Structure 1
Amino acid sequence: MGLAIGVDIGGTKVAAGIVDESGTILRRARADTPDRSVHPKVVEDTIVGVVGELMDGADREIVAVGIGAAGFVAADRATIVFAPHLSWRNEPLRERLGDRVGPPIFIDNDANAAMWAENKFGAARGEADAMMITLGTGIGGGVLMGGEVFRGRFGIAGEFGHMQVVPGGHRCECGNRGCWEQYASGNALVREARGLVSANSPLARDLYERVQGDPSRLTGPLVTEVAQAGDRTAVELLAEVGTWLGIGMANLAAAFDPGIFVVGGGVSAAGELLIEPARQAFRRQLTGRGFRPEARIVRAELGNEAGLIGAADLARQSVTG
């Protein structure tokens, strides 16, 4: 079937790789995601750069390029309608990249791509009805129904991060208040940790010392590292994110009734410190609890590479059938 390149565009990085038919990444490339204030062409240049770097060293034909974007992708699989963390607004991305890349281009939401990869190669193998929740800068979502990616009438199903869970809550980058991703994401984790350090809370002494009293130096991976070392406050911060994660998934189970939830994205690196509180909250909030089967909640197997693996595989299928 040939090799394909997958490109995963997130809030902070553009990760790309050459992927074979078994889902194995043969070569990788990476660049920083341009600031949202820059012209869309700068993002396009970044994509062209990482794809070109990979194609220059490929020893077999590249049959397609798949792009997983953190945003709303129109039903034409060619246009980025809206990307909260980037400058894209009705951006005809496939058209812009077509003459610059070479192989056919397939575009999808990054969480859809991750869901596809986890179903074909990872934690959701064998499940025809599954949901992917990606926790990174925000929350992404992917839905698999009857073994196929469900994208909705206009192509933008799965934007779970922007469900309102707290009326009048924290302002979200999408413009609304109280979105789920304001309570269960890497940004939420960092915001709460920085609040404690800024207040010089005695509960955050370890975190305070790690960043020498500078809250701006706090990152999600650092909070996770401190939690894994046994710091109670960091553990509590992750558990709070996990609790909000479980509440949201219980709502999704009421609507979609999947067999499995796969949790991926950078925050999932916390493992059971995040997943077990999510399971507990899910069981407490699940409609009809005790009288219905419960979906499994598991950590993604493919890690941060699921998006680019899925984008590559979807692109390959789009041209080879």
Structure 2
Amino acid sequence: MENELAIGIDIGGTKIAAGLVDAEGRVVEEVRRATPGHDARAVERTVAALVAELGAQAPGAAVGVGAAGWMDLSGSTVLFSPHLAWRNEPLRARLEEMVGRRVLLCNDADAAGWAEYRYGAAAGESHAVVLTLGTGIGGAMVTDGVLQRGRFGVAGEFGHQTLVHEGHRCACGNRGCWEQYASGNALGREGRGLLAAGSPVAHALRDAAGGNADAVTGELVTRLAASGDAACRDLLVDAGHWLGIGIANLAAVLDPGIVVIGGGLGSAAPLLIDTAADTYRRTLSGRSYRPFARVVRAALGPAAGLIGAADLARRAPAED
């Protein structure tokens, strides 16, 4: 099985990426489609069409599907998806019926984390934590070659550890979650706050947004920071500080050998990662008497999710 091509699919909020992946983690062919809004059935039909397109070149290929949300421990049911109307949805059986072949279902951050462990920045490390930074913060853990999913399959929700008591309200319903301080959404909120306050240091941000605070996003702040704008660089440093504190919390509990930072924001903002690594080293408990985990940038970029989903599908026992 490990010498065969596998099909990996990564369902995102705006696009669905699919690829044929070989046993070395190389994507030999990739196709993309726009995510059809919030219509879960339309998403399933799109996935089936992508499998049919790629499967014509690899008739026996296993299929791995990564999506945001909580999967049950068996990988058969989506307990909850934040972007689509999947609630206790027996998605694996539905997809297998549609595509006519075996399907592995997994969380998208787990898929990306597994890819970095197998082929990327965490290759060769026995205890790895992988963070995916985008609109929020997702994550995965791999220990001694095993993807750690917890007792019920929903481990890795790192972004919802509480960092600030009664802090910013999170979409999860709680306050002060980590992702409210160290994510793309957090950067956008802070940038909008600068414009709304009429801050004179935000002139580049104001010009780029056309004077419209609502047009400020984390992506815009990151782009201006990369071009050298001091105000946006300060916002990235602030976010990196919070990111480092959260990493120190994870390291105190999990004691990894490496922390890999990926996702759209992690890939675009080396200043964020450098600041996070420095803050982590300054705030880790017992820092004078214990080794530090390496904090590094992810290696596989946006294809990590489909690469990991394909490899997990290839390696799954036949009965799954």
**TM-score interval, smaller chain:** over 0.9
What SS does the corresponding residue of 2:62 show, helix, strand or coil?
strand
Residue 100 of structure 2 aligns to which amino acid in structure 1?
Answer: G
Q: How far apart are residue 39 of structure 1 and its match?
A: 4.3
Q: How far apart are residue 294 of structure 1 and its match?
A: 0.2
State how far apart, in whole Å, the 2-side matches of 1:4 and 1:276 are.
35
State how far apart, in whole Å, the 2-side matches of 1:29 and 1:217 are.
30
1:94 is aligned to 2:92? yes
Q: How far apart are residue 34 of structure 1 and its match?
A: 4.3
Task: Show CA shifts across 1:23-66 (max 9, x none).
Answer: 1111222233344xx4422332232233334335x3x3351111
Contact 1:8–1:14 (Cα < 8 Å) also in 2: yes
Give the structure 2 partner of residue 77 of structure 1: 75
Give the structure 1 partner of residue 187 of structure 2: 189
Q: How many residues align?
A: 317
Unaligned ranges ≥5, structure 2: none
Task: Show CA shifts across 1:235-289 (max 9, x none).
Answer: 1111111111111110011111000000000001234211111012111220101
State how far apart, in whole Å, the 1-side matches of 2:14 and 2:213 are.
19
Give the structure 2 partner of residue 43 of structure 1: 43
Alignment of 1:63-142 (within 5 A): 63-142=61-140
Distance 1:301 1:150, change over 3 A: same
1:209 is aligned to 2:211? no
Give the structure 1 partner of residue 8 of structure 2: 6
What SS does the corresponding residue of 2:186 show, helix, strand or coil?
helix
Task: Show CA shifts across 1:178-222 (max 9, x none).
Answer: 211111111111111122223332111101111211233333332
Alignment of 1:1-321 (within 5 A): 1-35=3-37, 38-56=38-56, 58=57, 60-319=58-317
State how far apart, in whole Å, the 2-side matches of 1:124 and 1:313 are.
15
Q: How far apart are residue 313 of structure 1 and its match?
A: 0.4
State how far apart, in whole Å, the 1-side matches of 2:107 and 2:73 are.
11
Normalised TM-score (structure 2) = 0.93
What SS does the corresponding residue of 1:247 show, helix, strand or coil?
helix
Distance 1:46 1:244, change over 3 A: farther
State how far apart, in whole Å, the 1-side matches of 2:36 and 2:246 are.
30
Contact 1:3–1:20 (Cα < 8 Å) also in 2: yes
Contact 2:186–2:218 (Cα < 8 Å) also in 1: no
Contact 2:126–2:145 (Cα < 8 Å) also in 1: yes
The percent of aligned pairs where both chains have the same amino acid is 55
Contact 2:248–2:283 (Cα < 8 Å) also in 1: yes
State how far apart, in whole Å, the 1-side matches of 2:51 and 2:59 are.
13
State how far apart, in whole Å, the 2-side matches of 1:311 and 1:128 are.
20
Contact 1:254–1:286 (Cα < 8 Å) also in 2: yes
Normalised TM-score (structure 1) = 0.93
Comparing 82-91 with 237-246, greater Cα deviation is found at 82-91
Comparing 108-117 with 78-87, greater Cα deviation is found at 78-87
What SS does the corresponding residue of 2:116 show, helix, strand or coil?
helix
What SS does the corresponding residue of 1:174 show, helix, strand or coil?
coil
Task: Show CA shifts across 1:77-119 (max 9, x none).
Answer: 1111112233221111101211112221001111111111111
What SS does the corresponding residue of 2:204 show, helix, strand or coil?
helix
State how far apart, in whole Å, the 1-side matches of 2:139 and 2:237 are.
20
